[in-house]
Chains A and B, each alone.
Chain A
């Protein structure tokens, strides 16, 4: 008997939403640094995922590759000791690191958004319990828990192991942000309406609450990518992350050792610059998105 109401309501939201996304896009493209970063990021992604189809060498050791060749036309990024083309190795390492980053971004965002929305929606003891669990996760030092888990894998740690571990422990900030947003949203009229229309809790959370926290979530996703790239490479560097025969940007830097100022400088700088480039572009994109979605918001994340 109350069918027409939600239909009307939903339509209203949709129209508003479309307008909103258009505005967001327009504002985003006015943010020069963000747009330039987006272009760079797309190039990096193409480098990692399409590069191997174009470039003649893969990331493996080949006997015909000389060891420790300086950058040249044949090997633009040089070669390492064992006879590995570093351009090929960089493509593979970037791909693995991006794999981790993207999986973590999506995985932790899904977990965090649902968790935060449930906590904010139910409030009361559910919220209290969920928030205490969040506190527990907050107290455990991130490197300790992820390192311990990576150490628990009894064979070579692959990128997907790392991605799962980081996603499982990296969602707490998103959960907090989404919860705060949901706490204010749940009092809004359209939620009241959906509820009185007989919508189930799950329906309300997934169809109404989460879509309306999209701006928070999208910004979180971008931050999550930067966070995942930095944590993954750091863990790999400490020997607690991805292991050979798999590879990652952190492992390449570790393998380069203290060669920053000797003839093998390229082994050290190239993967390092790649990490910086990814994290930098992602941060700028996130900044642009935030400005675009919430023009009032001037507070910047810490």
Chain B
């Protein structure tokens, strides 16, 4: 098992490297942040930008080098001039947003914001999905089953940005109707809020409910379909039929035999769902103004902030790969038929 984990972890490295090369070239070639910055400054000052400033920007962002050179220095930091770049030395490189927006700090701060949203939404969706999946399977071909199935398909077909807009506007209307400010539409907490852990949590709730709901419905649909299918498979399997034939009560069969086995696929799927939702949170973050990783990556792409995109790519890549790894390990642990060499 340990050997398996080590081997899989080592295999991540070439995959991540390949991904960074591909992504680096695509993002870097498409943008010229130096030109865009000069234009911005001119717009702001109404005066020409000194050549020395332009040169300094180019050298600070390593735009005085070719694309391959820039990638190389990003990876290794060999030949750096500002002591701020070189992935293998643990440095993310300069952000075009300037030194006050250090990439490493931004990424780690935003990681927790995104994780809070995603964890809340995914756990809720898994819980509800298991429940509705089991109900669907037990009452197969009943009205309840059809309704739940249809709802599942409906949520699967719903673009999350549309749902987000709808719920956000709905929350505003509900507030107006009730004369309260129960729901907040923008941000992840009261700006500049100070307090202990519990107070911060209570403060964040009005901000958390609607976006979590939006994110939840998206992943709920997939998992509930999954749960229903695996439950059905187990219910039709020989050992469950045997247990029934022996006269064990239906409820006991369901709880002790069927459900336990049927949870295996969903359990192994959960890490994948979680890591996938980290990516799916982009739209939700954008609509509800959460300063999370997803929005960070969008802004970085839009402004051509290559090193910031790289950092996001690495973080999300590692999260996804670890999700897959945990899922595989869980599969081995939970399913006695599978053993890893």
**B23–A144 contact, CB under 8 A?**
yes
CA distance A227 to B119 in the complex (A): 24
- Chain A nearest Cβ from B94, distance in angstroms: 19
**B165–A258 contact, CB under 8 A?**
yes
B286 surroundings in chain A (CB, below 8 A): 238
CA distance A250 to B172 in the complex (A): 23
B73 at the binding interface (Cβ < 8 Å): no
Interface segment, one of B10-18, B75-83, B100-108, B330-338: B10-18
Interface segment, one of A82-90, A200-208, A278-286: A278-286
CA distance A258 to B185 in the complex (A): 12
CA distance A103 to B212 in the complex (A): 34
**B159–A302 contact, CB under 8 A?**
no
Write out, one digit per residue, whether chain A residues 243-265 have a CB within 8 A of any chain B CB (1) or not (0). 00000001001000010110000
**B297–A144 contact, CB under 8 A?**
yes
CA distance A277 to B157 in the complex (A): 8
Return the contact of B269 from the options A138, A239, A287, A302 (Cβ within 8 A).
Answer: A302
CA distance A275 to B166 in the complex (A): 14
**B309–A148 contact, CB under 8 A?**
yes
CA distance A279 to B286 in the complex (A): 23
**B298–A140 contact, CB under 8 A?**
no
Return the contact of B22 from the options A136, A141, A298 (Cβ within 8 A).
Answer: A136
Given contacts A147-B301, A275-B159, contact A140 B30 (CB under 8 A): no
Return the contact of B279 from the options A141, A268, A280 (Cβ within 8 A).
Answer: A141
Return the contact of A139 from the options B15, B282, B301 (Cβ within 8 A).
Answer: B15
B239 surroundings in chain A (CB, below 8 A): none
CB-nearest residue of chain B relative to A152? B30
**B30–A135 contact, CB under 8 A?**
no
B153 surroundings in chain A (CB, below 8 A): 280, 283-284, 287
Write out, one digit per residue, whether chain B residues 57-90 have a CB within 8 A of any chain A CB (1) or not (0). 0000000000000000000000000000000000
Q: Please classify the interface of chain B as helix (H, G, I), strand (E, B), loop, or mixed, using the class held by over half of its residues.
A: helix
Report A139-175 residues with CB < 8 Å from chain B CB.
Answer: 139-145, 147-149, 151-152
**A141–B301 contact, CB under 8 A?**
no
A299 surroundings in chain B (CB, below 8 A): 226, 229-230, 233
Report B291-313 residues with CB < 8 Å from chain A CB.
Answer: 297-298, 301-302, 304, 309, 312-313
Most chain-B Cβ atoms within 10 A of its Cβ — which of A139, A140, A152, A238? A139
Interface segment, one of B191-199, B244-252, B253-261, B315-323: B315-323
B228 surroundings in chain A (CB, below 8 A): 300
Given contacts A139-B317, A139-B320, contact A240 B162 (CB under 8 A): no
Given contacts A149-B26, A151-B301, A298-B229, contact A276 B158 (CB under 8 A): yes
Report B99-141 residues with CB < 8 Å from chain A CB.
Answer: none
Return the contact of B16 from the options A133, A139, A152 (Cβ within 8 A).
Answer: A139
**A141–B297 contact, CB under 8 A?**
yes
A230 at the binding interface (Cβ < 8 Å): yes
**A142–B279 contact, CB under 8 A?**
yes
**B312–A144 contact, CB under 8 A?**
yes
**A253–B162 contact, CB under 8 A?**
yes
B168 surroundings in chain A (CB, below 8 A): 258
CA distance A151 to B304 in the complex (A): 9
**A272–B301 contact, CB under 8 A?**
no
- Chain A nearest Cβ from B107, distance in angstroms: 14
Report B134-182 residues with CB < 8 Å from chain A CB.
Answer: 153-154, 156-162, 165-166, 168-170, 172-173
**A148–B27 contact, CB under 8 A?**
yes
**Which B residues have a C-beta under 8 Å from some C-beta of A?**
14-16, 18-19, 22-23, 26-27, 29-31, 153-154, 156-162, 165-166, 168-170, 172-173, 222-223, 225-226, 228-230, 232-233, 269, 272-273, 279, 282-283, 286, 297-298, 301-302, 304, 309, 312-313, 316-317, 320-321
What are 13 A-to-B residue pairs whose CB atoms are below 8 Å?
A132-B15, A139-B16, A139-B313, A145-B22, A148-B27, A237-B283, A239-B302, A253-B159, A253-B165, A275-B157, A276-B157, A280-B156, A280-B157
Which 9 A-B residue pairings sit nearest by Cβ, starting from the closest?
A152-B30, A279-B157, A136-B18, A280-B157, A139-B317, A260-B169, A272-B162, A135-B15, A237-B161
